[in-house]
Structure 1
Amino acid sequence: MCRNIHQLHNFEPAATDDEVTAAALQYVRKVSGSTKPSKANQEAFDRAVAEVAHATRHLLDDLVTNAPPKDREVEAAKARARAEKRYASLSA
């Protein structure tokens, strides 16, 4: 859906409230088609972000898995390697 929304489940340490809010903001921006709402829509936009973040936090807190938690640094390195490969093929 949106490349800026990243998986937040099953990481050690767990996703922070800032990460959850950032994901909610990206979701609401995508759904609304607006990165910066007008003053008339700001309240509805902010409320939607707060509600999506709240629901996301509940989801993350309730999910269970038997898989070991992922390491953020290892996953970030994998993402950088994928990006290097993807963008190298574009410049070739």
Structure 2
Amino acid sequence: MYAAALQYVRKVSGSTKPSQANQAAFDAAVAEVAHATQHLLDHLVTNAPPKDREVEAAKARARSAERYGRVAG
């Protein structure tokens, strides 16, 4: 979660490494974004069953084969 928050704050601030004067604000923003993201994920609900990666990959391969034709190999 921290890495995603850091990436977001870097993108929004336009800075990958803040100055010493801005370091505290930068770190606080990363912590707040990480907290808000975790809060969101903790409170999301769904009625849909979890997806199976293998099944989804097979569906994607079938769609691709239908769209582009079978590739020899």
TM-score computed with the length of structure 1 as normaliser: 0.53
Structure having the higher strand fraction is 1
Compare relative contact order (CA 8 Å, sep 6+) and give the higher one, 1 or 2.
Answer: 1
Aligned AA (2:34): A
Identity of matched residues, %: 87
Q: Work out which of the two has the higher radius of gyration on C-alpha atoms and give 1 or 2.
A: 2
Unaligned runs of 5+ in 2: 57-73
Call closer, same or farther: CA 1:50–1:67 in 2, change over 3 Å: same
Count of matched residue pairs: 56
| SS of equivalent to 1:39 | coil
Please report how far the alpha carbon of residue 65 of structure 1 lies from its aligned counterpart in structure 2 after TM superposition: 1.0
* C-alpha RMSD over aligned residues: 2.3
Q: 1:52 aligns with which of 3, 20, 33?
A: 33
TM-score computed with the length of structure 2 as normaliser: 0.66
